[in-house]
Amino acid sequence: MASADHLCAFSTAGTDTNLAAYADILKPLGRLVAIDDFGPVEIGLLKSKSISFHWEFMFTRSLHQTPDQAVQRHILNQIARLVDAGIVTTTATTDLGTINAEHLREAHRMLESGRTIGKITVTGF
């Protein structure tokens, strides 16, 4: 287990394009956890600091029917408690409303600006 002196990073998007920055900011023996899907990653950038790279995929246990499959229920229940307590909150910052061509164009425009913070959502059909 990493001590409090070791920095951990949680990458939800752009791991492939941000890996060099993670390698720079993480301390030796730090940890990087990624949940996004991306292209090839040059994990050799992490070697000199012995930074560990961890994948997290919510469906691994059920997909591969691991012996500890029931653990997923406990994890999801804990997350639900943290959400209910307001400790874990959404990264959604902009709701464009009902999904339609206009709102999808606006979402793409916002994302392509490179200045979007948080998630953009659209709802319903």
User: Is 30 buried (19+), middle (13-18) or exposed (0-12) by CB count in 10 A?
Assistant: buried
pLDDT at 117 over 50: yes
Q: Could you tell me the two tokens for 105?
A: 């164009």
Instruction: Report whether 33 contacts 13 (CB < 8 A).
Output: no
pLDDT in tens, 27-55: 999 999 999 987 788 899 999 999 999 99
pTM of the model: 0.64
**What is the structure's pLDDT at 3?**
53
| Residue-range domain boundaries for the chain | 1-56, 92-123
Q: Say if domain 1-56 classifies as CATH 3.30.70.270.
A: no
pLDDT digits (tens, 9 = 90+) for 57-104: 989 999 999 999 999 999 999 999 999 999 999 889 999 999 999 999
In the numeric block, which tokens belong to residue 28?
Answer: 């030796």
